[in-house]
């Protein structure tokens, strides 16, 4: 039995979730993905292994994995949501408006300033998303 499979299965158990092929498949796909796929794309990839997976389960599973803190959902403008495995470091996303590509951006300084600002207003951050639409300079 591969180590990775065991790890992911354990991550699901630790989250109090049952270990199903669909959950392992989607979690694994997102761990390995270098891009930020949406539900349709994940369905296609999951079906390469098991062609009986349904779109409804993809959506249900993604919601559950997000709830469990194992993955993150990116709500974009005018296009279906994309997903990524939970990153180790907090980071923002830049969408290249010409290619659609998503680039990750991290700044510990921005995170700190934002946190202080929000707390100064009497709030605690539950989650945050920064989406930058940008164009490549030439």
For a second copy, the binding residues (CB under 8 A) are 73, 75-78, 92, 94, 96-97, 103, 105, 107, 109-110, 113-114, 117-119, 121-137
| 6 is a contact residue toward DNA (CB under 7 A) | no
Q: In whole angstroms, how close is the CB of 5 to a second copy at the nearest point? A: 31
**Residue 22 vs 130, nearer CB to a second copy:** 130
Which of 32, 40, 49, 116 binds Mn ion (CB under 5 A)? It is: 40
Q: Which of 6, 32, 29, 31 is nearest to 19 (CA)?
A: 6
Question: How many Å apart are CA 134 and CA 97, to the nearest integer?
Answer: 6
Residue-by-residue DSSP string for 8-60: HHHHHHHTT----HHHHHHHHHHHH-SS--BHHHHHHHHHHH-TT--HHHHHH
x/- mask, DNA, residues 26-65, rule CB under 7 A, reads: ------------xx----------x-xxxxxx-xxx-x--
Q: In whole angstroms, how close is the CB of 116 to Zn ion at the nearest point? A: 20
| 18 is a contact residue toward DNA (CB under 7 A) | yes
Question: How many Å apart are CA 104 and CA 118, to the nearest integer?
Answer: 23
**Residue 85 vs 130, nearer CB to a second copy:** 130
Q: What angle do CA 131, 27, 111 make, to 5 degrees?
A: 30
């Amino acid at each position: 039995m591969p180590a990775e499979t065991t790890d992911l299965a354990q991550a699901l158990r630790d989250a109090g979730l049952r270990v199903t092929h669909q959950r392992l498949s989607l979690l694994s796909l997102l761990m390995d993905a270098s891009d930020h796929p949406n539900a349709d794309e994940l369905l296609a990839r999951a079906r390469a292994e098991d062609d009986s997976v349904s779109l409804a389960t993809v959506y249900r599973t993604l919601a559950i994995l997000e709830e469990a803190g194992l993955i993150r959902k990116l709500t974009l403008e005018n296009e279906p949501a994309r997903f990524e495995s939970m990153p180790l470091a907090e980071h923002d996303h830049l969408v290249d408006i010409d290619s659609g590509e998503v680039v990750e951006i991290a700044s510990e300084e921005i995170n700190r300033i934002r946190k202080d600002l929000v707390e100064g207003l009497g709030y605690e951050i539950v989650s945050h998303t920064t989406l930058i639409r940008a164009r490549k300079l030439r």
